[in-house]
Structure 1
Amino acid sequence: MGCIIFETCGTDGDVLPFIRIGRKLLNYGHRVAIVTHSYYESIAKESKLDFISVDTPAEYAQFINDNASTSQNPQGHIFFLKRHVLSRVLRTYDKIKNYYVPGQTVIFSKSPGFISTIVSEKLDIPRVMCFFAPSFIMSKEFVITFYNLLKDDIISIRKELGLHSEYSWEKWWKSAERNIGLWPDWFEAEKSDSINSDSIYIERVGFVVDSSEFCDIPDDVKSLINDKEKPILINSSSSSLFINSDFFESSIKACEVLGQKAIIVGRHKEFMPANLPKGIYYFSHLPFGYLMTEAKAIIHHGGIGTSAQALASGLPQLVLAGGVDRPDNAMCLKRLGVGEYLLPPQWNYKCVMESLQRIITSKTVKEACLSVAEKMKKDNPIASICNIIDSILNSKERKMNKDKLYYEGNEFATLKKCDYDENNFHEKNDNENDIDKLIKNYSKEKLELALLLLTKSSPTTLGKESLIVKQPRKEGINIFPLTYYQERFWFLNKIEPNSLALNTFSAYMIYGNLNVEALEKTFNEIINRHENLRTTFGEIDGKPVQFVLPTIEFRLPVIDIQGDDRNNQNLEVERILSTKSYEPFDLSKGPLIRVLLIKLSEDEHIIWWGMHHIINDGWGSTVLIREIKELYSWFAYNKKHNLSELNVQCPDFAVWQRTYSNKGEKKDRMIKYWKKQLEGCNFKLSLPSDYTRPLVRTYNGSEELFYLPKSIRTKLKTLSNEVGVSLFMTLLSAFKLLVYINTNEHDIVIGSPVSGRNSEVLENLICDLTNMLVLRTVIDENDRIYDVMHKVKETALGAFQNQELPFQEIYSVLHYEIEPGYSPLFQMMFVFHEIFPQEKEQFLEGLNTRYLNIKKKVSQFDISLNMFDDNEEGLYGKFEYNTDLFSRETILKFVNQFKELLEVLIENPDLKISELCVKINDNYHQKLIKGEKEENVLDIEKDIVDADSDNGAGYQIYKIL
């Protein structure tokens, strides 16, 4: 007989299944020990298992507290593992070393198995790694990141044990003799989503549940369950992390209103009301295996242990799911038809009451529960596990990585044979007979598919941490973290919930016979393609998350104003678009895209759409235009569109960004750059204002537009090429010089957005992936203009190379204290746009379209200069400004000065900055003396109108807006 060691850390769902398996192995005559927390000593000994504690009662109490407070975010989880798992490897090793029997021992551990992996290698014990649910299988990319964050600690432990310090994630992840999944294959979200654990084969044996028929039940509980009216069970879980007052209040109130008797079981009485309503009873611990068979339904947190036990008992389940695997499990339960689930935003008694009433009265749910329970009776997971352990013990020759067909998705993908030695994994090709025998066990079709998939694998893409991959999606609402960029907007919205500064919008005039039905179908398809357009935002346990809704039914609102005359139509259009464009968004309620069609006549319409900045940026707007063009032609004229399938979505980028981006040496390098670059900056620099700055920052704003003809653009482009800079850098240099001239400050800090779409898979997404760069240039009065241009170039290139550090982390590492009256780090912004062809061409087939400018009423910063490059016509400019700081006259002065600056740059780029200031001021004053101020004001408006179009109706609307 053998010696079996079960090693696990966690709560009831992690420990009790191992104790149940251990009891069975005792019957086979094996020697069995459980290595776990001191809390489970009495339960283990009642089951006649040998017990090895990894902690003291006080340490276990700290373990539970930290599990609740720290372990459910990446940084906290790493801290948790270091404090409560890795710190105990050495002392646990000593205890196991004194217990095991050389050559006759198998160690059985829960994944990721840090303790058992090291102990197994040091003592040469075969290891079985156990996964408790499909969601516990980590992708290769996550495994690598997860391991690398703990690598130094693991190598340090290995050195103390005399093990080789060269160790990789692959040796850790793939070193188990067998990998077992404690769930049946029918529990997975979809049959097509079979587990791919990056070259480890998972043997799914089924749920290990409590099958005890007789339990010691207190008399007062027996009287409750022997009543004619069966109770509702409310299970509060072993950990308090996802169980709070909302969980209890909503569950208890729902039962009370429905007149349902309820039994609450769990440790966390502190979260419950002081006085329970009549018919609601609390117990700190009861044997659930028996209790579930006597209940009407169960409300619980979604842990796999409780879910499985309820399935075996044929009990309808209502899951209040939150965090880690709980939503995944809940979605699997819903797919099986055995109940419903609610996410934290729905944790109120009305939602709980309605769902509970449905599952306890539904005949369909009851039949599904009984069907699944019957199916589980046919599984014998403990017997399967015992057979696996016996096969390892009886094996004459143990290899740490057996011959396997590894599979990808639902089919076999690669065929390999490996061997293991103390220092290396390597390919082994000297035993063709064994491979031949293995091949004979599989059908010709599967082997052909294996070879086909193998040939399709691209070695250039394997193991790259930069690869953004699609994350699994489950039925119903999916929960993901926010991107760092979304997080910035989320916190801005928290500070100023009704702020209009983050509203984005566009409007177009449409001439011709518009197919309204096709246009509605177009937007429906776009919303279906892009998850970001059906995403809302909220919090779970104080952390912002995004909720991706499975579908949104879109209807295109049409406002018909055909009966009005042209003047009244213009006034009404102005009112409608101004109202819609500045209507606040509630991020917790979707959709965060709004679309409106205004009908002026049978052949004239205006299409308007608006979004919150958290779901879209400028690049995404061009993607939207392109998709409208393609899909309208599809629905209106049945022309096949050329849009490619979206391989990833914004949530996939968010997971990748938080898993791989800005880690280790790369992050350290970027932090070092920004600290050095921004040391000693004047972050409050702004152009001189007309009014006193409010104590709290406001967003009231306006804009002034101007135009630079094509001749000026051509000369600026030529100058840029001669100096060796881009047009962006030349225009930014001019803006910085404008600030210098008006402030006499040498240290100029201006912000500028940069697109984070540095991967091909992100180019076709409608989402916001912009980060803010802080561009600092120190100007000396003895510099020449081209010196400033080179300084700006150097600053820009350095910023671009370190652009991935999120803006909020920049001011965090600088220990910058945000002041209510100022935006963080800079008060002025410069934005350079290329006008994409989609904005100029007719994007609705068979129709003429024109862009309409809706005048801004908000400003995110003191002043923002937006420049639009149009190869064919010239340069458009727009100054957005805060009207609580600046008057229109002052902004017009800045516009004229900027134009003057550009002309001087073109004519005399070697002019000294000290001479430039005199020249610009002299030119401006000369124009004032000549009375050109009023003319320039008119020129700004006239230039835009003339450059845009001479179409009568469009001109009138454009001018009004």
Structure 2
Amino acid sequence: MTDSLRLPHYLVVTVGTAGDLFPFVTMAQALQRLGRRVTVLTNRVHEAAVLAAGLPCIGLGTVEDYERLIANPEVWDPRRGLTLLLAQYRQGMPELVDALTSAAAGDASTVVLAHPLAVPGAAVARELGRVGTVAAMYLAPSNLRSCEDPMRLGPHAIPRWVPQAWRRALWAMVARGWMDPAALPGINEARGLYGLAPIASFLGHMAQAPDLSITLFPAWFGRTAADWPQPLIEGDFQFPPAAEAPLPAPLAQFLDLGPPPVVFTPGSGNVHASDFFAQALVATQRLGQRAVFLTRERAQVPKLLPAEVIWQPFVPMASLLRRSAVLVHHGGIGTTAEALRTGTPQLVTPFAYDQFDNAARVVELGVGLTIPAKRLRAQALAQRVRRLLDPAFRAAAADVAARFEAPSAETALAAAVDRFVRAHARGSP
């Protein structure tokens, strides 16, 4: 068999919103540039975007199921949101295992690069001998369990004086009291369908199942912790090329007519942000600032907008931020990274998931402020945006943006992953 026939086929699996999708698509494109065969598996609602990126795609679930999930307001609750996602294993895992089996087409050397929530399904496919290596790709530092500082559980920061034994006990309590009851019934039911033994711990399985862990953020944003899974490849933020595309004509004309605006977005998947935009409008008018409201759902935005405010659906984020004064956003890792790259001061208003930890890291870098979405009111919003208009924040953000001046690391990361995968297939260390 020639070396070309032994080149791995990568199955890149991600779930969630566009913010979860684009870094995985960027990684898939980098692998494709290396001459590797790549197939993306993701929510069917994103299928067109993947195909437009020049990648084969297998859609999972239905558009209706996706829209039904994000239509539930509890999906943005700090506690109940993750519970809702973990409950999807009962329905989604068998479909994922079957899709991986079909895509691998009998080649047991196939490699799965999985979003953490897709790891249990990928592990089943590997245990059945249908795929080879399983690698987990982590979008944000808080996606990896750690007892090291900074340790945060959702909106709660664990004080630095708390000893390690207590931290381990706290994680055990969170696992037994919250995550295991939500995740294990569906996971173990699916494992039983394939004659596999049940797992006893969701977090333990997530840490131990991957053959490799990959961080899709730089060490200066999230320092590698000693208790993160090994082996681990430290990566970098992954940016889609479309982020630098030309802006739509109406938006470009709006930007030309006045000073840089404040940009407001609650994230691509948030359809429950009417109050966010209502408070933003009042705050903007108090400040006398121009503003851009970004959301796919026009119904979330106040019906009547003054001439100083424009609504837009999805736009090339980097291109917009390079012409903006401040970004007010939910704290998704993709949006956070774009603001860091463009040197844009940020006000992070976290709703759930990794957003609280991302917000804290933005504050620690000195490039932004934060206020939880549940406490977002026009007066506090205006006060913080006014602070962020201080040139000191712009200067600090520019210093951080300078860290991105090196050539793009997407191909280098893909090459490092490919080297590991091929060595692992040969049984090399």
TM range (shorter): 0.7 to 0.9
Post-superposition CA distance 1:335-380 (Å, at most 9, x none): 11112122346522222222212212x2221111111111023374
In structure 2, C-alpha distance between the alignment counterparts of 1:320 and 1:396, rounded to whole Å: 42
Corresponding residue number in structure 1 for 2:404: 376
Q: TM-score, normalised by structure 1?
A: 0.39
Which of residues 88, 94, 107 in structure 1 aligns to 2:92?
Answer: 88
Corresponding residue number in structure 1 for 2:416: 388
Corresponding residue number in structure 1 for 2:299: 270
Structure 1 segments, 4+ long, off by >6 Å, are none
Post-superposition CA distance 1:703-757 (Å, at most 9, x none): xxxxxxxxxxxxxxxxxxxxxxxxxxxxxxxxxxxxxxxxxxxxxxxxxxxxxxx
Q: 1:136/1:389 Cα in 2 relative to 1: closer, same or farther (>3 Å)?
A: same
Corresponding residue number in structure 1 for 2:320: 291
Q: 1:253/1:71 Cα in 2 relative to 1: closer, same or farther (>3 Å)?
A: closer
Tell me by how many angstroms 1:104 deviates.
4.0
Instruction: Output the amino acid matched with 1:185.
Output: A
In structure 2, C-alpha distance between the alignment counterparts of 1:232 and 1:292, rounded to whole Å: 9
Which of residues 301, 311, 326 in structure 2 aligns to 1:282?
Answer: 311
Post-superposition CA distance 1:67-92 (Å, at most 9, x none): x324736566434422x333122222
Post-superposition CA distance 1:668-717 (Å, at most 9, x none): xxxxxxxxxxxxxxxxxxxxxxxxxxxxxxxxxxxxxxxxxxxxxxxxxx
In structure 2, C-alpha distance between the alignment counterparts of 1:235 and 1:106, rounded to whole Å: 35
2:107 pairs with 1:100: no
Instruction: Output the amino acid matched with 1:183.
Output: F
1:71–1:78 contact (8 Å) kept in structure 2:
no
Tell me by how many angstroms 1:14 deviates.
0.7
Q: Which has the higher contact order (CA 8 A, sep 6+)?
A: 2
In structure 2, C-alpha distance between the alignment counterparts of 1:54 and 1:322, rounded to whole Å: 26
- Output the aligned Cα RMSD: 2.7
2:108 pairs with 1:78: no
1:236–1:267 contact (8 Å) kept in structure 2:
no
Which of residues 52, 56, 63 in structure 2 aligns to 1:50?
Answer: 56
In structure 2, C-alpha distance between the alignment counterparts of 1:44 and 1:310, rounded to whole Å: 24
Which of residues 173, 180, 191 in structure 1 aligns to 2:207?
Answer: 173
Higher helix share: 2
SS of residue matched to 1:390: helix
Tell me by how many angstroms 1:198 deviates.
5.8
Instruction: Output the amino acid matched with 1:364.
Output: A
Corresponding residue number in structure 2 for 1:245: 274
Q: TM-score, normalised by structure 2?
A: 0.83
Q: 1:320/1:70 Cα in 2 relative to 1: closer, same or farther (>3 Å)?
A: closer
1:22-37 aligned within 5 A = 22-37=28-43
Higher strand share: 1
In structure 2, C-alpha distance between the alignment counterparts of 1:339 and 1:64, rounded to whole Å: 28
Tell me by how many angstroms 1:275 deviates.
0.8
Instruction: Output the amino acid matched with 1:160.
Output: L
Which of residues 74, 88, 110 in structure 2 aligns to 1:69?
Answer: 74
In structure 2, C-alpha distance between the alignment counterparts of 1:213 and 1:267, rounded to whole Å: 16
Tell me by how many angstroms 1:45 deviates.
0.6
Aligned residues: 393
Tell me by how many angstroms 1:317 deviates.
1.0
2:257 pairs with 1:224: no
1:209–1:312 contact (8 Å) kept in structure 2:
no
1:133-172 aligned within 5 A = 133-139=140-146, 141=172, 142-143=174-175, 146-147=179-180, 149-165=182-198, 169=202, 170-172=204-206
1:212–1:290 contact (8 Å) kept in structure 2:
no
SS of residue matched to 1:185: coil
SS of residue matched to 1:294: coil
Q: 1:52/1:259 Cα in 2 relative to 1: closer, same or farther (>3 Å)?
A: same
Instruction: Output the amino acid matched with 1:106.
Output: V
Tell me by how many angstroms 1:43 deviates.
0.9
In structure 2, C-alpha distance between the alignment counterparts of 1:171 and 1:250, rounded to whole Å: 42
1:126-525 aligned within 5 A = 126-139=133-146, 141=172, 142-143=174-175, 146-147=179-180, 149-165=182-198, 169=202, 170-188=204-222, 194-197=224-227, 199-200=229-230, 202-212=232-242, 215-240=245-270, 244-344=273-373, 346-360=375-389, 362-378=390-406, 380-395=408-423, 397=425
SS of residue matched to 1:4: strand
1:211–1:289 contact (8 Å) kept in structure 2:
no
Q: 1:45/1:54 Cα in 2 relative to 1: closer, same or farther (>3 Å)?
A: same
Q: 1:246/1:201 Cα in 2 relative to 1: closer, same or farther (>3 Å)?
A: farther
1:224–1:231 contact (8 Å) kept in structure 2:
no
Q: 1:274/1:397 Cα in 2 relative to 1: closer, same or farther (>3 Å)?
A: closer
Corresponding residue number in structure 1 for 2:4: none
Show structure 1 runs of 5+ residues with no match.
404-961
1:210–1:289 contact (8 Å) kept in structure 2:
no
1:7–1:36 contact (8 Å) kept in structure 2:
yes
Q: 1:107/1:295 Cα in 2 relative to 1: closer, same or farther (>3 Å)?
A: same
Show structure 2 runs of 5+ residues with no match.
1-6, 147-170
Say which one has the larger Rg. 1
In structure 1, C-alpha distance between the alignment counterparts of 2:90 and 2:76, rounded to whole Å: 14
Post-superposition CA distance 1:545-588 (Å, at most 9, x none): xxxxxxxxxxxxxxxxxxxxxxxxxxxxxxxxxxxxxxxxxxxx
Instruction: Output the amino acid matched with 1:127.
Output: V
Q: 1:228/1:98 Cα in 2 relative to 1: closer, same or farther (>3 Å)?
A: same
Q: 1:147/1:205 Cα in 2 relative to 1: closer, same or farther (>3 Å)?
A: same
2:137–2:215 contact (8 Å) kept in structure 1:
yes
Q: 1:213/1:348 Cα in 2 relative to 1: closer, same or farther (>3 Å)?
A: closer
Q: 1:329/1:76 Cα in 2 relative to 1: closer, same or farther (>3 Å)?
A: closer
Which of residues 12, 21, 35 in structure 1 aligns to 2:18?
Answer: 12
